[in-house]
Chain A
Amino acid sequence: MLMLWRLLAAVLVVIVVGFGAFYAWAWNSELPPANLSGASFDPGIIAKGAKLAAIGDCAVCHTKPGGKPYAGGYPLPTPFGTIYGPNITPDAQTGIGLWSEAAFRRAMRSGVDREGNHLYPAFPYDHFTKATDSDISALYAFLMTRDPVPQANRSPALTPPLNWRLFAAGWKLLFLTRGVYQPDPKESPEWNRGAYLVTGLAHCGACHTPRDTLGAETDDHFGGGTAEGWYAPALNANSPAPVPWTADQIYAYLRSGFADQHGFAAGPMQPVVHSLRNVQDSDLRAIATYISSVSGPQNTADAERRTKAALEFARSRDMTALPKPSVRPATTGSAETRQASPGAAIFAGACASCHHSGGTLPISRPVSLGLSTPVNDPDATNLIRIVLGGIHPLPGDRGPIMPGFAGALTDRQIAELVSYVRSQFSGQPAWPDADELVNKLRQSTPPSMEAP
């Protein structure tokens, strides 16, 4: 009996000591407020910081829709609840106006704010930790020279106990590996620059890598993830894109939001591409070089063969999407069956005026659906979201306008349409659950993605 009590006592001591050690480890001091009045930053450093902020896409998560830049309030949905990006303008009361560079660096590297609180890993410091000191310094210079905006931060809407900051500390203990990016001497300088940016500030894996139940990225780098209710496709060998991504296509996509063998940026990639406008070509090329290496060896005979086959498939499916001019019925039995489906009629009336092929296609037409990633995704989420909400450029920008069909089509009709598109324009098996998915996605349109 005494043994049992001794055992329990020992376990209790271990827990308490363990917790105490953990707490001591997790505790961070408050760093003193900095007085930045009269501070000046080198214009060249500020300009460098601006480009890095564009790569890091800071403005998106730190600006609410219709709000002032960097003043916070953006609702970021996570599996644990909604977190609102804080105000990172140099406002003293509500922003980071009192933060020294050391405090900023600690936040970027270790996910701790000036007062010593742990930041939720929705702020991807597990990526930002890879940035060099001088890049963090440039970012600091950039942020501290923005217009200060007094806007109080919104508390996150997380279900307890997940809102305990200590859980963030625990998460970091398990998953955060601090340390600046180390170049791989076997690779080119351009590849390394790309790797540094992508795994660091650009934090592409934060969306494009699957996460485990604790919300940490798994080892399946770029194996596909989620972002704000959209599927962020795999960028590695499991990419659903019919044509293998080349560095040129990735560069074009990031530069202009359009790649002629893939399509247009949609969903959360739209603001990313918009942000990347301020990034110089050499950095986008570096990113493209690195990402294309992730997708597999470049310029192989196999890649070429697959590209050719995908282009030919897309072309042939375009021609059978609508009835041929002659009165002879289509001879391919399966084409005939597809054309008879209700989804085909919807496609012909609602989609074909933009998505048809042939003839003197005006410049602003989308690429063939046979080349589209959403049509080939493991599930219908992205395609349904695009059909529901459309694609809309920013005011004054040239860019595709696709209206949303949420009001025009019922759930059943959207399910029929996407099923038809899947069968007509891809060689993949049918999506089994399109009906339920439409209804679910219709209810859960993320607030920042509301279409007009």
Chain B
Amino acid sequence: MNAPVQLPLTRRLFLATGGAVVVSFALAPRGSLAQEGAAPAAPGTPKLPGSLSGSPMLDSWIAIDGEGRVTVFTGKAELGQGIKTALIQCAAEELDVDPVIITLVTADTERTPNEGYTAGSHSMQDSGTAILNAAAQARGILIGLAATRLNLPANQLQAKSGAVLAQDGRSVSYKDLVTGQDFHRTAQPTSPLKDPRTFTVIGKSMPRIDIPGKMTGAPMYVQDMRPDGMLHARVVRPPNYGAKLTQVDTGAIEKMPGVVKVVRDGSFLAVAAQGEFQAIQALHALSAIAQWEQTNTLPDPATIYQTIRALPSNDTTILNQGVVSNQGAHVLNATYHRPYQLHGSIGPSCALAIYDGGKMTVWTHTQGVYPLRNSLADMLHLPQAQVHCIHVEGSGCYGHNAADDVAADAALIARAIPGRPIRVQWMREDEHGWEPYGPLMISQAAATVDESGKIASWQYDVWSNTHSMRPAGPAGSLLAAQYLAQPFPVPAPQPLPQPEGGGDRNAIPLYQVPNARVVSHFIPGMPLRVSAMRGLGAYHNIFSIESFMDELANAAKADPIEFRLRHLQDPRARDVIVKVRDEFGWDPNAKLPRGHGRGFAFARYKNLAAYCAMALELDVDHETGNVTLGRVVAAVDSGLVVNPDGIRNQIEGAIIQSASWSLYEEVTFDRNGITSRDWSSYPILRFPAMPTRIDVHIIDRPKERFLGTGEAAQGPTSAALANAIFSATDERIRELPLSARRIKAAIGV
């Protein structure tokens, strides 16, 4: 359907009337939500496909009403990755209905299954799989009902376009079959899934259902909500981490035009006003008079890598095979560095909350409505059932940005002004200064290559903070909660275990090496606020490993692509690599003009999800070190492809985002605080610096399961750039970002 999503502008829940909807879903037990992106499992249920294992009742996922309208429920959220459209395609295909009659309800703690976070590229694997199977089983039930109605064997009936057809021409439409409780049953472990060769909806680039509304000014975002009586609020953030609010005379501010209330709880300070500009002016005035006491300093930025590296760490050997050695025909080692980097959402985070009759309702663009609900309940000392979180789109988040924090701000202010909807919009400086960053990382690679040009021994160490401080129940993950008069403690960071990993995501190479050891050094101490950023540790680990593979290939005098193929048997890995080699036209013997380079990289995200290879070319200006990007050719294998254009959009976007991270980006700070506070102090790639073209080739594997794709290209892009810069200049840069200054310093005069 092309209509914009109807926003629930009142507190009353919208429940479909007529024949069908009884929605039931499992509330996952606390603690099982810590896994980044993993669907929670309710105890005692059989192993069902995807998120069905956590929400096994079919009517948690599918509903058909007496008018034949189909509602599909997902615990996942639209982040701009096109998931709404893809899930509708899955349901339409297996249910045999026209996609336009489907309404998709996304992440809502009172309406949809609990699928944890929309993260880790799990949406298709978890929710897509669940919906595919639930829809297929629903279709089976409908056919069964029709068999009874028509007095025919089920295997002589066929579902098509919202009806069940008999060979003799009789048909019964779904709306005439449903009685209300038909889907209120547990899902089966197997489903009558269609043969992919018969797909008519899956595999097509169905245009995204949300794009037309976004292109014509329909209310699509939480920022667009304007319920009656809404107040605009702003939060005065401290000048730096941990600062205490010592004094503020709020009386003068409360007399400013339009100001309704100044809210203070300890060091949490906010102002609510009738008009938005009034709130902003009050924010400036309140900031000017608030007095803060600085309580801590940041480490010296000049030695931050040494500082982090020296912090205590919990070390885990995540791969140990054979015996590593440092003897061989070629022996190499290298150290790679990655600074803190920002999510940098274009729209700073926003939330709407209302506290009425003891119940808190929050409209939020969080990636996890259930975990957020639990953390808000903890912060507000409310029972979880009295907190309702509803996902409404915000701007792209690329991981754990400030979405949860602004929801907490809105809830606190709403509680202080009951009965009024409170809209909190973060300012640009606050989003940049306070969002949790992608963590600084350090890696060390050491390997030997034997006489025949094969890697004999491989050692890889990676040092990193946690990559997940998402709200997961305790309130202390929420920024505001840390600054209340009775503050909540920041929860102890936990590593995300393999095989998904956090800082060690993709630390284990996919390459075949007889002797290998990989150690993950988890560092709990976090001087800068950090959490999950798209790809987590995969970005840096793939940067390191794929740069190092080129260094090894160079030592062995081998072509970089051929060198990788030498060490991979997985045919799907080989296929994406060969596809890129051929589509790019990679000639191992090419002689490139001075300053012109090309680079290649490959990875399988998490060693479990999508395969992605790419080659690109660029020019380096000798006088300035500036990089001019040329063409990029990528190949991706995402298993069963639901929406090819959606995949292409995600891969293109990931390439551009990663090019920006890798060429420009690092968070800057001084002893007193963060100094990356806006786009002038944290530049990102703009139009003139874009590549000349990006071609994405999709290898469709309809018989394979879905493989998460949203984070597959970031790591390979960074290494392909480093390898291309080496190709252009003979200089190997191992520290991100690969900035013009760094490149110029390496190439000299």
Q: Once the chains bind, are A327 and B255 in contact (CB under 8 Å)? A: yes
Q: Which residues of chain B are within 8 angstroms of A357 by Cβ–Cβ distance?
A: 288
Residue of B nearest to A319 (CB): B288
Q: Once the chains bind, are A396 and B622 in contact (CB under 8 Å)? A: no
How many angstroms from the CA of A99 to the CA of B479 in the assembled complex?
Answer: 66
Assess whether B677 is interfacial by the CB under 8 Å rule.
yes
Q: Which residues of chain A are within 8 angstroms of B289 by Cβ–Cβ distance?
A: 325, 359
Interface segment out of the listed A225-233, A376-384, A397-405: A397-405
Assess whether A358 is interfacial by the CB under 8 Å rule.
yes
Known: A360-B239, A362-B433. A395 touches B689 (CB 8 A): yes
Residue of B nearest to A349 (CB): B277
Q: Which of B588-618 touch A at CB < 8 Å? A: 594-595
Q: Which residues of chain B are within 8 angstroms of A326 by Cβ–Cβ distance?
A: 252, 255
How many angstroms from the CA of A70 to the CA of B238 in the assembled complex?
Answer: 48
Q: Which of B280-304 touch A at CB < 8 Å? A: 281, 284-290, 292
Q: Once the chains bind, are B749 and A50 in contact (CB under 8 Å)? A: yes
Assess whether B739 is interfacial by the CB under 8 Å rule.
yes
Assess whether A356 is interfacial by the CB under 8 Å rule.
yes
Q: Which residues of chain A are within 8 angstroms of B253 by Cβ–Cβ distance?
A: 325
Assess whether B237 is interfacial by the CB under 8 Å rule.
yes
Assess whether A43 is interfacial by the CB under 8 Å rule.
yes
Q: Once the chains bind, are A325 and B285 in contact (CB under 8 Å)? A: yes
Q: Once the chains bind, are A359 and B677 in contact (CB under 8 Å)? A: no
How many angstroms from the CA of A356 to the CA of B427 in the assembled complex?
Answer: 15
Known: A325-B255, A395-B689. A43 touches B680 (CB 8 A): no
Q: Which residues of chain B are within 8 angstroms of A396 by Cβ–Cβ distance?
A: 626, 663-664, 683, 685, 689, 739-740
Residue of A nearest to B683 (CB): A396
Assess whether B511 is interfacial by the CB under 8 Å rule.
no
How many angstroms from the CA of A399 to the CA of B685 in the assembled complex?
Answer: 14
Q: Once the chains bind, are A395 and B680 in contact (CB under 8 Å)? A: no
Known: A46-B749, A325-B256, A362-B433. A400 touches B680 (CB 8 A): yes
How many angstroms from the CA of A52 to the CA of B604 in the assembled complex?
Answer: 49
How many angstroms from the CA of A46 to the CA of B663 in the assembled complex?
Answer: 28
Main secondary structure of the interface of A (DSSP, over half): loop
Main secondary structure of the interface of B (DSSP, over half): loop
Q: Which of B238-257 touch A at CB < 8 Å? A: 238-239, 252-253, 255-256
Assess whether B681 is interfacial by the CB under 8 Å rule.
yes
B341 to chain A, nearest CB (A): 14
Assess whether B429 is interfacial by the CB under 8 Å rule.
yes
Known: A59-B623, A400-B680, A401-B679. A395 touches B237 (CB 8 A): no
Most chain B beta-carbon neighbours within 10 Å: one of A70, A142, A147? A147
How many positions in chain B have a CB within 8 Å of any CB in the partner chain?
A: 45
Q: Once the chains bind, are A397 and B238 in contact (CB under 8 Å)? A: no
Q: Which of A25-74 touch B at CB < 8 Å? A: 43, 46-47, 50, 59, 69-70
How many angstroms from the CA of A362 to the CA of B432 in the assembled complex?
Answer: 10
Q: Once the chains bind, are A358 and B683 in contact (CB under 8 Å)? A: no
Q: Which residues of chain A are within 8 angstroms of B740 by Cβ–Cβ distance?
A: 396
Q: Once the chains bind, are B683 and A395 in contact (CB under 8 Å)? A: yes
Q: Which residues of chain B are within 8 angstroms of A362 by Cβ–Cβ distance?
A: 429, 433, 677-678, 681
Assess whether B748 is interfacial by the CB under 8 Å rule.
yes
B601 to chain A, nearest CB (A): 22
Known: A46-B749, A325-B256, A360-B287. A395 touches B668 (CB 8 A): no
Of the residues A356, A360, A363, A393, contact of B675 by C-beta under 8 Å: A363
Residue of A nearest to B240 (CB): A360
Residue of A nearest to B282 (CB): A325
How many angstroms from the CA of A401 to the CA of B682 in the assembled complex?
Answer: 11
Assess whether B624 is interfacial by the CB under 8 Å rule.
yes
Q: Which residues of chain B are within 8 angstroms of A46 by Cβ–Cβ distance?
A: 749
Assess whether A364 is interfacial by the CB under 8 Å rule.
yes
Q: Which residues of chain A are within 8 angstroms of B287 by Cβ–Cβ distance?
A: 358-360
Known: A359-B284, A359-B290. A398 touches B681 (CB 8 A): yes
Assess whether B169 is interfacial by the CB under 8 Å rule.
no
Residue of B nearest to A398 (CB): B681
Q: Which of A384-414 touch B at CB < 8 Å? A: 393, 395-401
Taking A360-B237, A393-B683, A396-B683 as given, write out 6 further A-B residue pairs in contact, using a Cβ cutoff of 8 Å, ordered by the A residue number: A47-B749, A69-B623, A324-B285, A325-B288, A356-B284, A398-B681
Q: Pull 7 A–B residue pairs with CB atoms less than 8 Å apart, ordered by A.
A: A46-B749, A47-B748, A70-B623, A362-B677, A363-B681, A395-B689, A398-B681
The 6 closest A-B pairs by CB, nearest first: A359-B287, A358-B288, A362-B677, A359-B288, A69-B623, A362-B429
